[in-house]
Amino acid sequence: MNRTFTMIKPDAVGNGHIGAILEKINASGFNIVAMKLTKLSKSDAEKFYQVHSERSFYGDLVNYMTEGPIVAAILQKTNAVDDFRVLIGATNPAEAAEGTIRKLFATSISANAVHGSDSDENAKIESNFFFKNDERF
């Protein structure tokens, strides 16, 4: 079993898709091992997306991610990181495969419904960002 980290982003929370997205996550074989509804401050969002700080869309991304609440969660499954990237689909929902979470629920390349870690190492870093090495999880 391994783990990945996800966020349900402000567009999907605001559009009332939390329940449908969690259902799809569970139906795809992931167990939710930690979860919270929270809201990112500007400095949280800047830190979380630091890797993109040189990109042209960084400012828009930080603004968007602080617009409303998000759901942060740690998910467990064999091959969790790669399988979750398949389940969420391409970054741009216009290019996402049929049936993926982004195809079903995202509104734009920025407001793309969900985050999914891109490696085991980043899954740990991102989980710790929200759940602070909490031993219960």
Residue 14 binds ligand GDP, judged by CB under 6 A: no
62: CB partners within 8 A, 6+ apart: 42, 45, 46, 49
Residue 92 CA to residue 110 CA, distance in Å, equals: 8
Question: Smaller CB distance to ligand GDP: residue 68 or 136?
Answer: 68
Q: How far apart are CA 40 and CA 97, in angstroms?
A: 29
Q: Dihedral sign for Cα 102, 104, 110, 111, please.
A: negative
Kindly indicate which of the ranges 25-33, 39-47, 56-64, 120-128 contains the residues binding ligand GDP, using the contact rule CB under 6 A.
56-64
Q: Active site residue: 3, 17, 102, 115, which one?
A: 115
Q: Is 61 in the site for ligand GDP (CB under 6 A)?
A: yes
Check residue 91 for interaction with ligand GDP (CB under 6 A).
yes
Task: Burial-class residue 30 by CB neighbours within 10 Å (0-12, 13-18, 19+).
Answer: buried
Determine if 74 is a binding residue for ligand GDP (CB under 6 A).
no
Catalytic annotation present for 17: no
- Total residues contacting ligand GDP by CB under 6 A comes to 10
Q: Which of 2, 15, 28, 110 binds ligand GDP (CB under 6 A)?
A: 110
109 belongs to the binding site for ligand GDP (CB under 6 A): yes
Q: Given the complex with ligand GDP, which of 47 and 52 has the nearer CB atom?
A: 52
CB 100 within 8 A of CB 87: yes
Q: Which residues are catalytic?
A: 115
